Amino acid sequence: MVEPFKTADIIILLEYTKKNQEDTLCRTATTQELIELARYLWDEDMRECQYAACDILVLHKTPNKENAESLVSAVKELVVSKSWWDTVDYLASIVGNTLTHEGMLDVMDDWIKDDSIWVRRVAIICQNKRKIKTDVKRLFQYCKEHASDGEFFIAKAIGWSLRSYAYTDPSAVRRFVEETNELQNLSKREALKNISKKEIKKEPKLLSEE
């Protein structure tokens, strides 16, 4: 059980996590211990405490699928309990770190159908840093399913996720945008923002082909 912190202790922890990005705590503590600490910080009124919770969780490498599932479940709780776009996006990167474990992308198939726009946003953007390891079929499927959604944070997420993958395969992203008429204009602008006219024509590489 995490012992209650005083405000001074929290401030010290915040500074420590900023300066020690490879903190031994994050590498050696169990997944459950870090989840418990993150939950405590999340409940604090200081906005910086939520950032500290994210800092702690993003550095943790889940050793197996069971721990990854526990972490992702806890992240979902945090996403819906205090839904600020910046911490939601940070939590999405934590989910992204777990996707190397078999079956974790299947969890996102449920998240993309969730009632919460923030949970759906995480499902859309959690692959943003996967580059060639992106599950392209899922990425395009999620974007297509919510292409007509006028909610700003969903439309923006779609554009951002497509723009991120465009660094790996710009031709595939351009084709998707051209063929998906229902995409919001915001999504289209974001998706095509960094695609050069001299893009290389190639087919997207799926995980199953690696």
In sequence order, what DSSP letters do the residues of 62-101 get, joined into one string? Answer: --SHHHHHHHHHHHHHHHHHS--HHHHHHHHHHHHHHTTS
pLDDT at position 52, please? 85
What's the pTM? Answer: 0.84
* Sequence-distant (≥ 6) Cβ neighbours of residue 171 within 8 angstroms: 199, 200, 201, 202
C-alpha 33/C-alpha 121 separation (Å) is 27
**In this model, does residue 112 exceed pLDDT 70?**
yes
Mean pLDDT score across all residues of the chain: 86
pLDDT at position 70, please? 95
Higher confidence at residue 9 or residue 145? 145
| Residue 49: pLDDT band with limits 50, 70, 90 | confident
C-alpha 104/C-alpha 106 separation (Å) is 5
C-alpha 129/C-alpha 134 separation (Å) is 8
pLDDT at position 108, please? 98
Tell me what the mean pLDDT of segment 67-92 comes to: 93
C-alpha 176/C-alpha 116 separation (Å) is 26
Tell me what the mean pLDDT of segment 64-88 comes to: 93
